[in-house]
Amino acid sequence: MDIDAYLKRLNYDGPRTRTLETLQALHQAHLLAVPFENLDIHLGRPIALEEEALYDKIVRQRRGGFCYERVMENGKFGPEFDHLTLLVPLEERWLADVGFGDSFREPLRLEESGEQIQYGVAYRLRNADELWTLDRRFSDQAWEPQYRFTLQPRQLTDFAGMCRYHQTSPASHFTQKRICSRATPEGRVTLSDMRLIITASGQRQETVLQDEEEYRHALEEHFGIDLTISKS
């Protein structure tokens, strides 16, 4: 992996020392530069969980990626290997996750029993019987579980089966609609099928795109993605 090329992809020119400040800055930079997207699934292009293929897609092709322990959906946690998150050991252990869409902007301290508030949103991590659960809460609303994970080390190949499922099953929400979403300094920009949703400073603006030409233009303008030149 060419580290310089990856950091250039993130528009990051800060320190590279192994510190919490560097981890926080890289986490933010990745979310601001690399979108969460499933476009290849709808183009019939297989997504391979191989480091070289993922690097080529995200860095060289300037594309995004999609999530790859158990995600909460419809009140239940999904199967294992439904999502991949990272444990980063520094002086303390931190949960890093740039593949879960609209989630925490900076890593979360793992051994922290209280709330961790970022940009007005509260997060907490609960541990019971070796299972960790990430919860999120907006303002005065109730806590909502996001996903569950363990600290058992995994390999990318462990996630291959669920990766195939999410690309091919009609029951997967990734096969049901196109999504491309990226954090911005003021909020978030999202393409959800033919809806362009821009949130800035708490204000939401939604535009319905009229055709595929407008869709491709929005992809280029807001995400820098030109699908006509992406490799298959």
Out of 97, 163, 180, 222, which one is annotated catalytic?
A: 97
Of 185 and 71, the one with more pLDDT: 185
Check whether 91 has a pLDDT greater than 50.
yes
**Average pLDDT value for residue range 199-218:** 95
Burial 160-199 (b: 16+ CB within 10 A, else e): eebbebbbeeeeeebeeebbbbbbeeebbbbbeebebebb
Cβ distance 204 to 197 under 8 Å? yes
Pairwise CA distance, residues 42 & 20, whole Å: 38
What is residue 127's predicted lDDT score, i.e. its pLDDT?
94
What is residue 73's predicted lDDT score, i.e. its pLDDT?
65
**Residue 27 among the catalytic residues:** no
Pairwise CA distance, residues 133 & 161, whole Å: 23
Out of 27, 30, 67, 163, which one is annotated catalytic?
A: 67
What is residue 124's predicted lDDT score, i.e. its pLDDT?
97
Range scoring the smallest mean pLDDT among 23-32, 36-45, 183-192 = 36-45
What is residue 101's predicted lDDT score, i.e. its pLDDT?
82
| Cα-Cα-Cα-Cα dihedral sign, residues 154, 156, 159, 161 | negative
What is residue 68's predicted lDDT score, i.e. its pLDDT?
52
**Residue 83 among the catalytic residues:** yes
Instruction: Give the pLDDT confidence of 154-206 residue by residue, as tens digits.
Output: 998 898 888 888 898 988 888 999 999 999 999 999 999 999 999 998 899 99
Average pLDDT over the chain reads 91
Pairwise CA distance, residues 114 & 217, whole Å: 44
| Residue percentage of the chain with pLDDT more than 70 | 95
What is residue 74's predicted lDDT score, i.e. its pLDDT?
65
Task: Say if residue 25 is exposed, middle or buried (CB neighbours under 10 Å; 0-12, 13-18, 19+).
Answer: middle
What is residue 147's predicted lDDT score, i.e. its pLDDT?
92
According to DSSP, the β-strands at 179-183 and 187-192 are: antiparallel
**Average pLDDT value for residue range 46-57:** 89
**Average pLDDT value for residue range 80-89:** 90
Instruction: Give the pLDDT confidence of 126-167 residue by residue, as tens digits.
Output: 999 889 999 999 988 999 999 999 999 999 889 888 888 889
Out of 30, 83, 166, 222, which one is annotated catalytic?
A: 83
**Residue 42 among the catalytic residues:** no
| 3-class secondary structure per residue, the chain | CCHHHHHHHCCCCCCCCCCHHHHHHHHHHHHHHCCEECHHHHHCCCCCCCHHHHHHHHHHCCCCECCCCEEEECCEECCCCCCCCEEEECCCEEEECCCCCCCCCCCEECCCCCCEEECCEEEEEEEECCEEEEEEEECCCCCEEEEEECCCCCCHHHHHHHHHHHHHCCCCHHHHCCEEEEECCCEEEEEECCEEEEEECCEEEEEECCCHHHHHHHHHHHHCCCCCCCCC
Check whether 48 has a pLDDT greater than 50.
yes
